[in-house]
Structure 1
């Protein structure tokens, strides 16, 4: 269903940063949250490194945060304790999801590389939870990929093992591969037409409607779009978003990381039910260089990746030069 999501315009005099020293409430109704102070600190006050990636949560509740820094993917306990860094050869994973396959879980990542314009490490990866790369695409099974893998941004994996990869910083094509990386089909592309994209950034498998759908963050067109798993157009799910980057599902709702300083939670009809971490200071919207000391508690500058956990808490990664990831606890 088509629905419009209207932005909150903020305040005439934005508040000055208070530092990460107080707990604040944010959101609406059932999806009201409190920020967790000093969550996700690294040992010896090390920095995450630039964050331009994603967040995933495994069945044990461990949180995986991809970075462009030397630690690549950082793993945390729910209380924010740093566990380990893994997949050090997979720096710069841009889109990140976790998938159960039998009794094992795997991380799937769209590796853009450490820099947006890097020509190295442009590939889709399957990584076990010990950090071993168990498959990459392209591989010997793949065949020719129209337009190559330039500008890879998003990845999603369906229940049958099909892997969807978006080229949001390049051709705006979406490629569908089988579970061993063979290219099955290609669809989408850049354009002003209704069924074309402008920065098909993040992807998700939407199971809220019975038959699974592919949910696409069509960022520059400020909308979420549904396709079937053969790439056929279903319709616009929500519009007038603030540059949607990534999605995460919890029951009948989807949380959307909006690069322009907000997370919005949307129901099955495409209607917004909660605005989380909405930043009234427009100078910080989609701003990579906001310093840690200028961040406000419970307020975002450039949400890029996010994930619900099993109980509805949110973990959100801002696009940020020094690295920022936040935990928001659902208020019961």
Structure 2
């Protein structure tokens, strides 16, 4: 029997979001104490996006390079993989694709959360790192040297004094403008120019009954260049949605993924990938920990694969509720897609595990 299709209103009512809607940090969720052990070499995913699970890919030594939460990963042009963790001893672990740790560096951030890669017009690559605990947003070299720090929302005049600000993610536009998602603060996307001067903001906290262009948790933001004009795609985690905006902040469209409390959007080729940090249970629309999986959408915003989740099904054009199928992941916080189409999944609140690699097999 197919699961019912929860409406957005039903989802919000039953997901335990009273505390989450207050937006004082990460949302309150329900722990699942019956999590089963993950599955080495399991084949997960659907259609042309199927993967072999490699739980032992990382060769990091916990005694030498400990991690807390593995938040996000990116791959740079030379093939190296950069992992961001909120372990202040080593915020960044740099891997090769075999899982060997090449080096580490740190900014000393206790709330390191967002890691975005940008290549400038000269072909130089830089990283953008957000710290949710201090409100810092910094641009660094690949070696960890800070080149620019954005002012906080209060200091730049975007917010009134004492307005909550806890940035979670960044994206950089074609002209160098920086977009900062205040996902654990006041739910705006803040826009700065390339020099770090505040330009504008859009979004803001949504009411339960109305959400077009507003957020309950603007967890991530990315530049989407798959169409004729570049757009910003932003996470609306608590509503299981992604929203698209023009670069000036005008709302364009959204896609609803019932049951999937998604993390940041990752654009790779023609597809959008995201880790699902929290999930639901059959006929239970609350927000549960340890129910994570991954989603893959095509260029038409159709869900084509859910590695670790049940096969995606549409009925009368509406996607049926998504649920974890195989307990490979606990809380999938990010997906990195490498130059061969393999995936790396970083997890939050998963007993300090290093990323898993998903080798594409179909």
TM-score range, shorter chain: 0.7 to 0.9
Query: Residues 15, 55 of structure 1: CA spacing in aligned structure 2 closer, same or farther, 3 A cutoff?
Result: closer
Query: What per-residue deviation string (whole Å, max 9, x for no partner) do you get for residues 125-166 of structure 1?
Result: 111011111111118xx7323156722111111121111001
Q: What is the DSSP-based 3-state SS (H/G/I as helix, E as strand, rest coil) of the residue aligned with 2:238? A: helix
| Length-normalised TM-score, structure 2 | 0.76
Does the aligned pair in 1 maintain the 2:116–2:170 contact within 8 Å?
yes
Report whether the alignment pairs 1:236 with 2:261. no
Distance in 1 of aligned mates of 2:327 and 2:119? 31
Report whether the alignment pairs 1:264 with 2:281. no
Report whether the alignment pairs 1:183 with 2:198. yes
Distance in 2 of aligned mates of 1:186 and 1:107? 22
Q: Could you say which residue in structure 2 is the equivalent of 1:97?
A: 116
**How far does residue 204 in structure 1 lie from its aligned partner after superposition?**
0.8
Candidates 68, 71, 86, aligned match of 2:90 = 71
Query: Residues 16, 37 of structure 1: CA spacing in aligned structure 2 closer, same or farther, 3 A cutoff?
Result: closer
Q: Which aligned runs of 4 or more in structure 1 are off by greater than 3 angstroms?
A: 43-48
Report whether the alignment pairs 1:253 with 2:253. no
Query: What per-residue deviation string (whole Å, max 9, x for no partner) do you get for residues 262-300 of structure 1?
Result: 101011221110011239xxxxx99xxxxxxxxx99811
**How far does residue 36 in structure 1 lie from its aligned partner after superposition?**
2.2
Report whether the alignment pairs 1:174 with 2:205. no
Q: Could you say which residue in structure 2 is the equivalent of 1:293?
A: none
Q: Could you say which residue in structure 2 is the equivalent of 1:29?
A: 47
Q: Could you say which residue in structure 1 is the equivalent of 2:283?
A: none
Query: Residues 160, 298 of structure 1: CA spacing in aligned structure 2 closer, same or farther, 3 A cutoff?
Result: farther
Query: What per-residue deviation string (whole Å, max 9, x for no partner) do you get for residues 207-251 of structure 1?
Result: 111211100110111100101100001011333251111121222
Candidates 105, 108, 119, aligned match of 2:128 = 108
Q: What is the DSSP-based 3-state SS (H/G/I as helix, E as strand, rest coil) of the residue aligned with 1:103? A: coil
Structure 1 stretch displaced more, 48-57 or 188-197:
48-57
For these two proteins, the number of residue pairs brought into alignment is 298
Does the aligned pair in 2 maintain the 1:27–1:276 contact within 8 Å?
yes
Does the aligned pair in 1 maintain the 2:126–2:140 contact within 8 Å?
yes
Q: Could you say which residue in structure 1 is the equivalent of 2:21?
A: none
Query: Residues 91, 84 of structure 1: CA spacing in aligned structure 2 closer, same or farther, 3 A cutoff?
Result: farther
RMSD: 2.7
Distance in 1 of aligned mates of 2:257 and 2:55? 33
Distance in 2 of aligned mates of 1:155 and 1:258? 19
Structure 1 stretch displaced more, 47-56 or 96-105:
47-56
**Counterparts of 1:308-323 in structure 2 under 5 Å?**
308-320=337-349, 321-323=351-353
Does the aligned pair in 2 maintain the 1:278–1:299 contact within 8 Å?
no
Candidates 314, 328, 331, aligned match of 2:358 = 328
Report whether the alignment pairs 1:82 with 2:101. yes
Distance in 2 of aligned mates of 1:202 and 1:302? 16
Query: What per-residue deviation string (whole Å, max 9, x for no partner) do you get for residues 67-95 of structure 1?
Result: 11121111111000001112333443211
Query: What per-residue deviation string (whole Å, max 9, x for no partner) do you get for residues 97-134 of structure 1?
Result: 11111232111122113xxxxxxx31111110111111
Unaligned runs of 5+ residues in structure 1 are 7-13, 114-120, 280-284, 287-295
Does the aligned pair in 2 maintain the 1:5–1:271 contact within 8 Å?
no
Candidates 298, 305, 312, aligned match of 1:274 = 305
Q: What is the DSSP-based 3-state SS (H/G/I as helix, E as strand, rest coil) of the residue aligned with 1:264? A: strand
Q: Could you say which residue in structure 1 is the equivalent of 2:332?
A: 303
Candidates 107, 131, 144, aligned match of 2:157 = 144
